[in-house]
């Protein structure tokens, strides 16, 4: 058989995906470059700062990794919840409440600090699961739009959580709005001195692997994927659809809650969030960047975290508001999600590859 340099159709599709990602990112940067050049005189140096910012010091690079942790937790949570075809956006509220609950436990619970932390994480996970279950129950039972309910629920959780915080944990002697400090030793240990990178990174790695195995190697994960991709088919094959949807919301919420707890115990010594942290919405973006595959979520989280730290550096050096990354992220997402973007090119490449294959096949 003559070996040819011609690509198979599958290879063409893989290459095409890479090309699409690259061009989406390129276009997003190009547009934001144009926007930046309207507002300052030296857009080139601003863009340069955006790209090299995280690499300018070891400390800055480690903040990228620190930021990856909560982003990845959120991404995994949303990945599982969305897999059931439920647009449940309550991960935001779940993460917030999880952080609060674990902070309260870290302040008050007696006992060895390791035990306190395990307990805090589990309690935070359960809290998150309850939060994300609410839109799920309302959807399964009465067909309420899970999206609208979860959007409202996030605000309810913010204010309800702030109320609990003020009643239970707020330190009246603190100059700003913060809780009492956590008990001595109740903190995820630092793994690289000189940075704030904490052992939560091992917890998140564990969850990435666990989610991947759950999704692709277990019966549960299979049921979930079937339910998400075709609910009627799932019903016909005897899958308890309501149960599958509910359990995916519970698991997703649990991961979000643990994420909040990890962030709290790893990065803070007191609870001081007065706004929703935003990781829940970022998670939707990550999930798309990762092509809805849990294994790629850390990669997507790295990309987003790198961009944010870079933007922060750009803000300090070039006086361009770091919020420009929201525009870059939005553009990248939209272009990646757009099926028709570069579709003609894909069609052309596929036809060409098939033709080539046919010709070489004829020569065999």
Partner 1 sequence: MSGVIDSIFSTTFLFSVIRVATPLILASMGAVITSNAGITNIGIEGVMLVSALAGVLASAFGYGSWFGFLIAILVGVICSLVIGYVSMSLKADSVLTCIAFNTMAVGGTVYFMYAVVKDKGTTIALNSGKLPSIELPFIKDIPILGEVLSNHNIVSYIAILMVLLVYIMLYKTPLGLRIRSAGKAPNALSSVGVSLLRTRYIALGISGILGGMAGAFISMGYVTWFSKNMTAGRGFIALAADAMGNSTPIGAALSSLLFAMAEALSYSLQITSIPSELVQMLPYLVTIIGLVAYAIRKNSLDKKKKEHIVGE
Q: What is the nearest approach in angstroms of partner 1 to the Cβ of residue 76?
A: 18
Nearer to partner 1, 121 or 146 (CB): 146
Alpha-carbon gap, residue 310 to 56, rounded angstroms: 10
Task: Provide the minimum distance between the beta carbon of 326 and partner 1 in the complex, in angstroms, as a whole number.
Answer: 2
> Alpha helices of the chain — where are they, by DSSP H?
9-39, 43-52, 58-83, 91-108, 113-142, 146-164, 200-217, 219-229, 231-236, 241-267, 279-289, 297-318, 324-337, 343-363
Radius of gyration (C-alpha) of the chain in whole angstroms: 23
- Cβ proximity to partner 1, 52 vs 152, nearer residue: 152
The smaller minimum CB distance to partner 1, of residues 41 and 184, is found at 41
Looking at the DSSP bridge assignments, the partners of residue 190 are 198
Question: Least distance in Å: CB of 9 to partner 1?
Answer: 21
Maximum pairwise Cα distance, the chain: 84
Closest approach, Cβ 96 to partner 1, in A, equals 13
| Beta carbon nearer to partner 1, 184 or 323 | 323
State in angstroms the smallest separation of the CB of 271 from partner 1.
14
CB 196 → partner 1: shortest distance, Å? 24
**DSSP code of residue 166:** I
Which is nearer to partner 1, 160 or 302 (by Cβ)? Answer: 160
Structure tokens at 33: 């470059």
Q: Which C-beta is closer to partner 1: that of 132 or that of 324?
A: 324
| DSSP code of residue 275 | S
- Residues that bind partner 1 in the complex, under the rule CB under 8 A: 35, 38-39, 87, 89, 138, 142-145, 147-149, 151-153, 155-156, 159-160, 162-163, 166-167, 281, 284-285, 288, 320-321, 323-327, 329-331, 333-334, 337-341
Question: Could you tell me the smallest distance in angstroms from the CB atom of residue 61 to partner 1?
Answer: 23
Nearest CA-CA partner of 272 in 172, 195, 183, 165: 165
Instruction: Please enumerate, as own/partner, the contacts of 82-85 that have beta carbons within 8 Å and a separation of 24 or more.
Output: 82/228, 82/284, 82/287, 82/292, 83/215, 83/224, 83/225, 83/228, 83/248, 83/292, 84/224, 84/227, 84/228, 84/244, 84/245, 84/248, 84/249, 85/227, 85/228, 85/229, 85/231
Do residues 63 and 351 touch, judged by C-beta distance below 8 A?
A: no
Query: What is the torsion angle, in degrees rounded to the nearest 10, for the CA atoms of residue 148, residue 151, residue 154 and residue 160?
Result: -50
Residues in the chain: 364
Which residue lies nearer to partner 1 by CB, 186 or 288? 288
Q: How far is the CB of 58 from partner 1 (least distance, A)?
A: 28
Q: Which is nearer to partner 1, 207 or 313 (CB)?
A: 313
């Amino acid at each position: 058989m003559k070996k040819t340099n011609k690509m198979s159709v599958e290879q063409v599709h893989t290459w095409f995906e890479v090309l699409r990602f690259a061009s989406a990112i390129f276009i997003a940067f190009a547009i934001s470059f144009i926007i930046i050049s309207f507002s300052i005189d030296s857009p080139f140096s601003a863009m340069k700062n955006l790209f090299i910012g995280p690499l300018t010091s070891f400390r800055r690079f480690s903040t990228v990794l620190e930021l990856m942790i909560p982003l990845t937790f959120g991404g995994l949570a949303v990945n599982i919840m969305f897999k059931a075809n439920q647009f449940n956006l309550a991960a935001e509220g779940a993460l917030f409440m999880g952080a609060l609950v674990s902070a309260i436990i870290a302040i008050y619970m007696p006992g060895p600090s390791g035990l306190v932390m395990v307990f805090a994480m589990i309690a935070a996970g359960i809290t998150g699961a309850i939060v994300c279950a609410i839109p799920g129950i309302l959807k399964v039972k009465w067909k309420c739009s899970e999206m609208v309910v979860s959007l409202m629920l996030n605000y309810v959780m913010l204010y309800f959580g702030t109320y609990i915080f003020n009643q239970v944990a707020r330190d009246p002697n603190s100059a700003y709005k913060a809780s009492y400090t956590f008990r001595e030793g109740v903190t995820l240990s630092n793994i690289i001195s000189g940075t704030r990178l904490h052992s939560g990174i091992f917890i998140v790695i564990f969850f990435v692997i666990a989610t991947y195995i759950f999704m692709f190697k277990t019966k549960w994960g299979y049921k979930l994927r079937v339910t998400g991709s075709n609910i009627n088919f799932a019903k016909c094959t005897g899958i308890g659809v309501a149960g599958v949807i509910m359990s995916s919301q519970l698991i997703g919420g649990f991961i979000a809650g643990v994420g909040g707890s990890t962030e709290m115990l790893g990065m803070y010594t007191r609870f001081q969030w007065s706004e929703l942290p935003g990781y829940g919405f970022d998670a939707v973006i990550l999930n798309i960047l990762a092509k809805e595959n849990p294994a790629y979520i850390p990669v997507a989280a790295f990309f987003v975290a790198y961009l944010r730290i870079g933007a922060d550096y750009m803000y300090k050096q070039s006086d361009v508001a770091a919020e420009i990354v929201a525009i870059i992220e939005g553009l990248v997402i939209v272009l990646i999600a757009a099926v028709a973007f570069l579709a003609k090119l894909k069609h052309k490449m596929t036809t060409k590859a098939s033709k080539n294959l046919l010709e070489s096949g004829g020569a065999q």
